[in-house]
Chains A and B, each alone.
Chain A
Amino acid sequence: MQRRNFFKGAATAVTTAVAAASVSRVAMAALPEPASQSSADTAAPLVPPNGRPYRPVVTLNGWTTPWRMSNGVKEFHLVAEPVVREVAPGFSVNMWGYNGQSPGPTIEVVEGDRVRIYVTNRLPEHTTIHWHGQRLPNGMDGVGGLTQPHIAPGKTFVYEFVARRPGTFMYHPHADEMAQMAMGMMGLWITHPKAASPLIAHVDRDYAFLLSAYDVEPGAMTPRVNEMTDFNIWTFNSRVFPAITPLVAKQNDRVRIRVGNLTMTNHPIHIHGHEFEVTGTDGGPVPRSARWPEVTTDVAVGQMRQVEFIADELGDWALHCHKSHHTMGAMGHDVPTMIGVDHRGLVSKIQKIVPDYMLMGERGMGDMGSMEMPLPDNTFPMMSGTGPFGSLEMGGMFTTLKVRAQLGANDYRDPGWFKHPKDTVAWEWTGKPLGADAPRQTPPGSASGAPSVRKPGTDSGHDQHH
């Protein structure tokens, strides 16, 4: 995958795509040049070239926008515009985003920074930006009609306020937001603490992503913005497994993961192999006395969660939403269950009528992960992804946490599959198999304990007829 190459430049502060459009052109009177990103890969963390220092986050399959300093003010330029997001290789979706991608670039500032954000609207309709979770003057809150006029197409508005509170935040429109968020308008905002705080730990790895969901008809490209519940694309930062970058950590690194939810349902985010604590929300750091260990945290709609743990267990650990449909790609929710249905004598008959027919689902859905069947164009399969032991049968809000003993401090490259120590992988029993007379399950279609019906023609039933 491309993203591996992408991380090669991780030691340098700014990736090439960003550097081309970076801060150099300072002109007081002019708008800051908007940086733009064409790749959906994970960009290396952006080490701050100026201003107050901080330890940058890594945005999964995203990037942090550079800024320019103008008389001590950090100036950003967001351009709201239609984009085509590569949700997975071979599967692209027409979205609305910022600066070339959806989600838009992560904005990283330091507590106390004065921030000026220019917002240019290149959408076909008006928009605004709401700075979710910020303390700011009411007129900067970005609620179209309530606190400001809408930003008409072609217009640029300026937002200016001080990032008063450290934490994990997001930004999104507050104008025709149903459509605009369904089209992917969102981004992360991280305010780093100015000084050491007893509630905010120093971490070695700091990952951030937003949860978003789309409904794209198989074979189409544009999300159905009117859908409310029946989504078929469940994403971390508008990417689906196996196209989501794995989170890597050196053994015993302290890892922070920041998750924001801009879908229309909650997501229980679950990490294998470790316990974590929720150390912050969009309300700020959680008091130590209020923290408890968990392996799953529910991120409700419109919420942000910041979890932290020591990555002390080596391996490739699953990290996913625990709603199992949310780890699946597009699927037909009305397709009946075929499990256990006897197809004998029917398959060849169906093939006479539909020559390309293949039998599926009579043993379960797992076959889908390994069968390579032609799908409608631009359609992400229901389950895909291959691991070292075979098909992963996943295709949505799923990725891995890869903990390795040997890893450079700034190395975010995918280290490949874990090499298990001897005798630490579940193995196949090769002794005496289960006896044939062992108890079996009830045959399908008959309730256990129900009185059995005598069929005419069986010997005793026959007698009763006379």
Chain B
Amino acid sequence: MNTRRITTTLSALTAALVLAGCASVASDGLRGDVQQQTQSRLPKDAQLASANADARKEAQDRIADWLKQPVDQDTAVRIALLNNPDLHAQLAELAAQDAERAQALTLINPTLTLGRFTNGHEREIERQLGFNLVNVITLPWRSRWLGWQMERATLQASQNVLLMAAETRRAWLRAVASEQSLAAAVKMNDAAQLGAELARRMAQVGNFNKLQQARELSIAQESAAQLARARLAAATDREQLSRMMGLWGTQAAFQLPAQLPAIPRSAGELRSGDDAEATALRERLDLRALRRDLDTTADRGGWAGVGAVFGDIGATYSNNRSTDRETGHVEKTRGWELDLPLPIFDWGGSASARTRAEVRRSAALLQSTALRARGEARTSWSRYRTAWDLAHQQQAEVLPLAKLVQDETVLRYNGMFDSVWQLLAQARATTQAVVNATNAQRDFWLAETDLQLALTGTSPGETAALGSSASNAASNTNEQGH
């Protein structure tokens, strides 16, 4: 028998396969690669959740430790990376993809065909060992393409990590700002309730009529409603943050700092916008992923025609043995069989056309995304810069002015030019100014988060429009004074 020779052939192919080195599954499900891609774009020491049970246990301990103190922005991101179940799912998906890739690179098992045929005087035993030749020949290329595809999938997963981090950051900023606004709403409501109580006592001794009292009461009612809305907003925003950090139960009772981080003091400390576009083109992971796509498509293009024509080439080794039943004479035939499809109708032209089109599409997609990246770099920077201007104006001009108005109102109250209700109304207006300043401060950090993402990560997606908070605030402000 010549099975030994077959074995030799198969061994050689297996060796080629091993040499291609692609069929192994990454032991960490490519988390290390994702970690590497995102490291510089995440808070220092931020770790991705591990698939390893011990590591996960350790991560939980670390999270429990962090939660003992008010959770700052970076810690919120760290917790989310370790604990967010959506992120776990995405990383698991990446590992699954990697396993699929490894599987795809495994050679299709040879086909062993056994036949036993008998007639009156003969018994024939047929043994065929066949395998797909192209599958073997194209192995190194396919291995390369699939490698690129995995790189692409890794880049996609990295983008998801960054998006998740950004979303956590945004949730943290909103939660802290809402908490601050709630404190202000409590103060505004206190002022309004005091005004109403004093008005009630005024009416009691006949100094106010029903109308005057009712006006103060309606201010208090409006203010109570505003407080309720502020409570809901604070609870909702906090809930969103817990969800991002994957916290529930007692862990959801985490503490937050009382204040948002201060904005940069001067415009000089801001990130310059000059290199925004270049940075985005150089750093963005979505662009890198599309570049890999283009490589793959282009590389494949060269093989498309061949693959289309000869995709079904098959080689079969046959070893037949027929035995004459009477004489016992054994006749053996051995030989190769080659299946060749006849490209009568398609010499691979349409396949080539398709891959050419795919290359073009891939290139166009890359170009369009690069264009968008440029645009996003510019607009994110403008938003960031304007957000700083607005927040800085609030800090440096609006708040001091509100303070001055408050002080002058006290002086006017002292001189009996204004009443205590005007004083309380001004206190509410001043507090509202603090809320507006907080919102502007939050908007700056939101814009900063988007800018980071747009420059070094990926498309920031939907970003909150600046000034929306101001208009919210305006609609929330009830009439001051009377």
Contact = CB atoms under 8 A, between A and B. Distances in A.
Interface string B174-199: 00000000000001001100100110
A342 B201 contact: yes
A353 B190 contact: yes
B415 A382 contact: yes
Given A336-B207, A338-B207, A353 B416 contact: no
Contact of A349 (B190, B205, B415, B419): B190
Nearest to A382: B416
Chain A interface category by residue count: 35 or more
Given A332-B417, A341-B207, A444-B206, A376 B424 contact: no
Given A331-B417, A445-B206, A353 B412 contact: no
A463 B420 CA distance: 42
Contacts of A379: 411, 415
Which of B187, B206, B417 neighbours the largest number of chain A CB atoms within 10 Å of its CB? B417
B427 A353 contact: yes
Interface in B407-430: 407-408, 410-421, 423-424, 427
Contacts of A330: 415, 417
A349 B198 CA distance: 11
A374 B414 contact: yes
A343 B194 CA distance: 10
A375 interface: yes
A30 interface: no
A49 interface: no
Interface in B59-100: none
Contacts of B212: 336
Interface string A385-414: 000000000000000000000000000000
Given A340-B207, A341-B202, A361 B416 contact: yes
B208 interface: yes
B204 interface: yes
Contacts of A350: 194, 420, 423-424
Nearest to A333: B417
Contacts of B191: 353
Interface in A328-373: 330-332, 334-343, 346, 349-350, 352-354, 356-358, 360-361, 365, 368, 373
Contacts of A187: none
A341 B198 contact: yes
Which of A336, A339, A346, A382 neighbours the largest number of chain B CB atoms within 10 Å of its CB? A336
Nearest to B207: A337
Contacts of A334: 419
Contact of A346 (B198, B208, B407, B417): B198
Contacts of B421: 336
A346 B190 CA distance: 11
Given A339-B207, A340-B205, A342-B201, A374 B194 contact: no
Contacts of A374: 411, 414
A361 B191 CA distance: 20
A349 B408 contact: no
A335 B412 CA distance: 11
A137 interface: no
A442 to B, nearest CB: 10
Interface string A422-461: 0000000000000000000000110000000000000000
Contacts, number: 104
Interface string B388-423: 000000000000000000111011111111111101
A381 interface: yes
B417 A335 contact: yes
Which of B413, B416, B418 neighbours the largest number of chain A CB atoms within 10 Å of its CB? B416
Contacts of B408: 219, 376
A354 B415 contact: no
B411 A332 contact: no
Which of B191, B202, B205, B410 neighbours the largest number of chain A CB atoms within 10 Å of its CB? B205
Contacts of A373: 414-415
Contacts of B198: 341, 343, 346
A357 B415 contact: no
A218 interface: yes
Contact of B427 (A343, A354, A361, A375): A354
B416 A365 contact: yes
Contacts of A352: 190
B424 A354 contact: yes
B207 A218 contact: no
A368 B416 contact: yes
Contacts of A340: 205, 207
Given A353-B187, A353-B424, A353-B427, A444 B205 contact: yes
A332 B414 contact: no
A352 B431 CA distance: 13
Contacts of B412: 218-219, 332, 376
Contact of A335 (B202, B205, B418): B418
Contacts of B407: 356
Interface string A237-279: 0000000000000000000000000000000000000000000
A56 B166 CA distance: 88
A357 B424 CA distance: 10
Interface string B203-218: 1111110001000000
A358 B416 contact: no
Contact of A375 (B187, B414, B420, B423): B414
Contacts of B204: 342, 445
A354 B207 contact: no
B190 A357 contact: no
B149 to A, nearest CB: 63
13 contacts: A218-B417, A331-B416, A331-B417, A332-B415, A335-B417, A338-B202, A338-B420, A353-B424, A358-B414, A375-B411, A379-B415, A381-B415, A445-B206
Interface of B: 187, 190-191, 194, 197-198, 201-208, 212, 406-408, 410-421, 423-424, 427
The 3 closest A-B pairs by CB, nearest first: A332-B417, A373-B414, A444-B205
Given A218-B417, A341-B201, A356-B410, 12 more contacts: A332-B416, A336-B207, A336-B421, A339-B205, A341-B198, A341-B205, A343-B201, A350-B423, A354-B406, A354-B427, A376-B412, A379-B415
Interface of A: 218-219, 330-332, 334-343, 346, 349-350, 352-354, 356-358, 360-361, 365, 368, 373-376, 379, 381-382, 444-445
